Amino acid sequence: MSSMREILAGIMQAPGRSSIKSRKKSAGQVRKMVVLKNSHCYHHCLAQLQALGIKPVKKVAGAHAVVCRFPAKASLKALSAHSMVKRVEHDAKVRLHRRKPARSVRISAPCASVNAPQVIPWGVKRVGAPGVWRSHQGSGVKIGIIDTGISPHPDLRIRGRFNAIAGAPDTDENGHGTHVSGTASALNNSFGVVGVAPKARLYSVKAFDASGSAYVSDIVEALEWCISHGMQVINMSFGISGGSDTVKEQIERAYRKGIVMIASAGNDGPNTEQIDFPARLPQVIAVAASNSSNKVASFSNRGKGIAVTAPGVDICSTLPNRSYGLMSGTSMAAPHVTGAAALLLSKNRRLSPARIRQVLRATAKRLSGYSSLAQGAGLVQVDKAIRQV
Cα–Cα distances in angstroms (integers) from residue 27 to residues 37, 49, 73, 287, 326, in the given order: 30, 22, 11, 37, 38
* Residue 331 annotated among the catalytic residues of the structure: yes
Nearest to 147 by CA among 195, 192, 97, 205: 205
Q: Residue 167, exposed/middle/buried by CB under 10 A (0-12, 13-18, 19+)? A: exposed
Which residues, 6 or more positions from 41, have their beta carbon under 8 angstroms from its beta carbon?
A: 64, 84, 85
Annotated catalytic residue, options 91, 147, 218, 276:
147
Annotated catalytic residue, options 64, 97, 136, 176:
176
Rounded distance between C-alpha atoms, residue 70 and residue 216, angstroms? 16
Rounded distance between C-alpha atoms, residue 45 and residue 371, angstroms? 49
**Other CB atoms within 10 Å distance of the CB of residue 32:** 21
| Edge-to-edge strand ranges of the sheet holding 201-206 | 158-163, 201-206, 142-147, 233-236, 260-264, 284-290, 306-311
CA end-to-end distance (rounded Å), the chain: 56
* Residue 82 annotated among the catalytic residues of the structure: no
Question: DSSP secondary-structure letter at 165?
Answer: S
Q: Which residues pair with 206 in a beta bridge?
A: 147, 163
CB of 3 closer than 8 Å to CB of 41: no
Annotated catalytic residue, options 217, 323, 331, 346:
331
Rounded distance between C-alpha atoms, residue 232 and residue 146, angstroms? 13
Q: Give the number of C-alpha atoms closer than 13 A to the C-alpha of residue 155, restricted to the C-beta side.
A: 36
Which residues, 6 or more positions from 277, have their beta carbon under 8 angstroms from its beta carbon?
A: 239, 240, 241, 242, 243, 244, 247
Rounded distance between C-alpha atoms, residue 301 and residue 375, angstroms? 9
* Residue 176 annotated among the catalytic residues of the structure: yes
List the catalytic residues: 147, 176, 331
